[in-house]
Amino acid sequence: MSDPIHSTHPAVIKRLKRAEGHLRGVIGMIEDGRPCLELAQQLHAVEKAIAEAKKTLIRDHLDHCLAEAAEGLPEVQKRSIAEFKAITKYL
């Protein structure tokens, strides 16, 4: 069973495709013998883009899927879930 498409998925896909293109550019830079400092800077940018896409995807899952699963639970459990969702923003 696959997860439904959430409103953030198109933005995540766009970000990952941009990172994919950027990574191909970095590979070309390596093949062209560009300086290591430039390579490291560009790889850092690719890494950050992928990390942001991952965070967006996880937060979206928590906001929609976890909230849906919490429906009908006692208030004390709902508060625990809300606290969990809040603390994940610091990951």
- Write the pLDDT tens digit of every residue in 34-57: 999 999 999 999 999 999 999 999
User: pLDDT-based confidence at 1, cuts 50/70/90?
Assistant: very low
Angle at 47 between CA 5 and CA 67, to 5 degrees: 35
Position 9 confidence tier, pLDDT thresholds 50, 70, 90 = very high
25-29, 51-55, 65-69, 72-76: segment of lowest average pLDDT: 65-69
Q: Which CATH superfamily is domain 9-90 in?
A: Metal-sensitive repressor, helix protomer (1.20.58.1000)
DSSP state of 1: -
Choose between 31 and 7: higher pLDDT.
31
Tokens 């879930």 locate to 81
Cβ pair 29, 38 in contact under 8 A: yes
pTM of the model: 0.75
